[in-house]
């Protein structure tokens, strides 16, 4: 069975947060190195390369958010396909599955999300997150008001229950 979720790749979020700060400091360093032309050229090259990395990471962030992840479960394995790789885990190697819901503030409103953690292979873990809210109506869209979904409607929760049932069969 296949489950498509809107997972977020955490290192990309870190890059989108750190690169603007580094770009700002390199821009400041470029303006402070007025006298030395060679040093100014080097800092300007660093500034431009950081700006390019910033735009690339932002594009990859939105592509990753649009594509998400696919969890494919069959009788013996769980395959998780993301933009940045694929993991194949045997069901007999899964030690535990944990699921929890959480909230985070996005600009003006709360966003409800659900996180599934698969513990496998003696300490390794795979964390997948999914959206657990919906926007009802045009007014809610304009005010960015989200309502939480029941657990049985969240895709990552369905996948967790399905994987749990496959684990019990073994």
Q: Is the entire prediction scored with pTM above 0.75? A: no
| CA–CA dist 150, 122 (Å, integer) | 32
| CA–CA dist 109, 91 (Å, integer) | 38
Per-residue pLDDT of the chain (170 residues; tens, 9 = 90+): 898 888 777 776 777 778 888 878 877 777 776 677 777 777 778 878 888 888 888 888 888 878 888 999 998 899 999 887 899 999 888 888 999 988 887 777 788 888 999 999 878 888 888 888 887 878 777 777 788 888 888 888 899 999 988 888 86
Distances (CA, A) of 150 to 4, 66, 74, 96, 157: 17, 23, 25, 23, 10
| CA–CA dist 128, 124 (Å, integer) | 14
- The DSSP output letter for 35 is S
| CA–CA dist 167, 111 (Å, integer) | 31
**Token pair 């873990």 is at which residue?**
125
């Amino acid at each position: 069975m296949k489950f498509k979720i809107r997972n977020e790749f955490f290192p990309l979020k870190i890059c989108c947060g750190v690169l603007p700060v580094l770009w700002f400091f390199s821009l400041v360093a470029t303006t402070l190195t007025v006298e030395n032309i060679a040093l100014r050229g080097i800092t300007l090259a660093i500034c431009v390369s950081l700006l390019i990395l910033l735009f690339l990471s932002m594009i990859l962030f939105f592509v990753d958010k649009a594509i998400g992840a696919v969890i494919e479960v069959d009788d013996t394995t769980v395959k998780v396909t993301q933009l940045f790789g694929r993991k194949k885990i045997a069901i007999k190697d899964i030690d535990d599955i944990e699921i929890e819901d959480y909230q985070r503030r996005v600009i003006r409103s709360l966003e409800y999300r659900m996180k599934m953690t698969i513990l496998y292979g003696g300490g390794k873990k795979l964390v997948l997150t999914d959206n657990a809210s919906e926007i009802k109506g045009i007014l809610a869209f304009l005010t960015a008001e989200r309502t939480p979904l029941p657990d049985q409607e969240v895709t990552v929760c369905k996948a967790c229950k399905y994987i749990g049932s496959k684990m019990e069969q073994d």
